Amino acid sequence: MTKTTHTRPDRIFVNNLRVQAILGIYPLEREQPQEVVISLEIETDCSKAAASNDLEDSLDYANLAEAVAELTISGKYLLIETLIEDIAQHCLRQHLVAGVSVQVEKPQAVLRADSVGVRIYRSN
Per residue in 29-40, pLDDT (tens digit) is 999 999 999 999
Task: Tell whether 31 is covered by a domain.
Answer: yes
Task: Tell whether 99 is covered by a domain.
Answer: yes
- From residue 51, alpha-carbon distances to 56, 63, 103 in Å are 12, 22, 31
- pLDDT score of 106 more than 80: yes
Task: Tell whether 88 is covered by a domain.
Answer: yes
Task: Tell whether 4 is covered by a domain.
Answer: no
Q: Based on the residue annotation, tell me whether 106 is a catalytic residue of this protein.
A: yes
Q: Which residues span the domain enclosing 108?
A: 10-123
Q: Provide the pLDDT confidence category of residue 27 given band limits of 50, 70 and 90.
A: very high
How buried is 91 (Cβ within 10 angstroms: 0-12 exposed, 13-18 middle, 19+ buried)? buried
- The structural domain count of the chain equals 1
Task: Tell whether 71 is covered by a domain.
Answer: yes
- Torsion angle (degrees, nearest 10) of CA 69, 74, 79, 81: -50
Q: Catalytic pick from 3, 48, 76, 106? A: 106
> Cβ(72)–Cβ(14) under 8 Å?
no
Per the prediction, the chain carries an average pLDDT of 94
Map residue 2 onto helix, strand or coil: coil
CATH of the domain at 36: 3.30.1130.10
pLDDT at 1: 52
Q: Provide the pLDDT confidence category of residue 111 given band limits of 50, 70 and 90.
A: very high
Task: Tell whether 57 is covered by a domain.
Answer: yes
- pLDDT score of 6 more than 80: no
